[in-house]
Amino acid sequence: MTGVDDRRQARVALTWLAEPGTRSVHRLVHQLGPVAALDLLLAGGAPERALRAAVAARTATGDARAVAAEALARGDRLGARLVTPEDDEWPPQVAALRNLVLPDATRRVDVETDPPLCFWVRGAWPLDDALTRSVAVVGARAATPYGSHVATELGYGLADREWTVVSGGAFGIDSAAHRGALTAGGRTVAVLACGLDRPYPMGNAALFDRIAETGLLVSEWMPGAEPLRPRFLIRNRVIAAATGGTVLVEAAARSGATQTLNRALGLGRPAMVVPGPVTSAMSVGGHEVLREKPRSRLVAGVAHVLEEVGRIGDDLAPLARAPERPRDRLDDDATQVLEALPRRRPIDLESVAARAGVDLRTAMRKLSMLEELALVVRRDGGYALAPPPGDGG
């Protein structure tokens, strides 16, 4: 009797016996299926001594299948569903973790980086849909006002362009990115390192509730699981693997915040860094990555991020047709006049001239020319920038 429910229960039990990412467990599941893999482990048949010891220690405290059954019931009460590779909404891109090899990996968290066995999910959308067009925005908890500002702007801009903003729900950069996406009315996913019923940090509980309402809360760990320190590092591989690219906003020197970015690099995904003042300790980590990892890429805003992750025509097109824009041929006065114009509410001729630093006559001549080039529109007796082509407005 190895029905769907047994397989689901077995996957949950396996994440209780050994931390997610453990390579030998994943390999057993791959070879035998989750139920037989669990049977083997519980019978003391783990291929490695360390894993055998871990399983023995765990099973001394409880029955793995009973723990998993209880977790599934607890998930139901909580409104969290279990998603496994057998489900339609499983995000296939996390399978890339099978081939992740980190250079100079010696720590357990850098070696045991296999794909998740299952996800717990709170929120309305299918997990795969939410992650198809997604970008991770990560960074330090001890963010500066500058970093928080930039992360909020990135979160807002990405969500506004219908990209899902994925982060880890921590204070600082993570929270700012989530909040920016929420402010844009967009989608955001928090990948947590503990059970979905014990949001960590507690101070973000209200934020997690908002995320669950319009986005998703996701975790590899069963309800009730504690946010143990190594779990944040184990979790980071999922953030890198589930998304189209990772942006690091702020990180201190040699800090854990650069770890997700290194995983993105290891997976061949775009690994992006927002630079900052060289006088800021919180920009040292990002600058180090930019100096040491030739494949990492400096990004200064949403447009740069989309250039890296935008495999979809819509996002790349405006950049590709840059060379032949009429505004590239404008003379200095015309450029100044154009740059003096607001995008929304029109301003009158005198204001244009004053802001552009040209005389009235020049302003008028250049405005007529810019109107002919469809770069400027007259509206309400004033002048404003024309909406970009294809804006539909």
- Chain residues binding a copy of itself by CB under 8 A are 146, 149-150, 274-279, 283-284, 287, 290-291, 294, 297-298, 300-301, 304
Pair of tokens at residue 219: 């975790």
**What is the b/e burial string over 307-336, where b = at least 16 CB atoms within 10 angstroms of the residue's CB?**
ebbbeeeebeeeeeeeeeeeeeebeebbbb
Minimum Å gap between C-beta 291 and a copy of itself is: 5
d(CA 32, CA 39): 10
Min CB(98)–a copy of itself separation in Å: 31
- The Cα-based distances of 159 to 33, 293, 384 in angstroms read 38, 28, 27
Nearer to a copy of itself, 42 or 290 (CB): 290
In a 13 Å sphere around the CA of 371, the CA atoms on its Cβ side amount to: 12
Count of beta carbons in the 10 Å neighbourhood of residue 52: 14
3-state secondary structure (DSSP) of residue 374: coil
* DSSP-derived secondary structure letter, 169: -
User: Would you say 27 or 287 has its CB closer to a copy of itself?
Assistant: 287
Report the interhelical angle of 4-17 vs 34-42 (nearest 10°): 50
Quick one: 125 or 146, whose CB is closer to a copy of itself? 146
Q: Where are the beta strands (DSSP E) in the chain?
A: 81-83, 119-122, 134-138, 164-167, 188-192, 216-219, 246-248, 271-273, 297-298, 376-379, 382-385
CB of 347 to a copy of itself, least distance (A): 21
Q: Which is nearer to a copy of itself, 44 or 277 (CB)?
A: 277
User: Least distance from C-beta 338 to a copy of itself, angstroms?
Assistant: 15
Q: At its nearest, how many Å lie between a copy of itself and the CB of residue 24?
A: 30
Least distance (Å) between residue 143 CB and a copy of itself: 14
Residue 322: CB minimum distance to a copy of itself, A: 12
Phi, psi of 288 (to 5 degrees): -55, -45
Query: 1 vs 278, which CB is nearer to a copy of itself?
Result: 278
Angle, helices 349-356/332-340, rounded to nearest 10 degrees: 120
Nearer to a copy of itself, 284 or 347 (CB): 284
Q: Which residue number, 45 or 301, has a Cβ lying nearer to a copy of itself?
A: 301
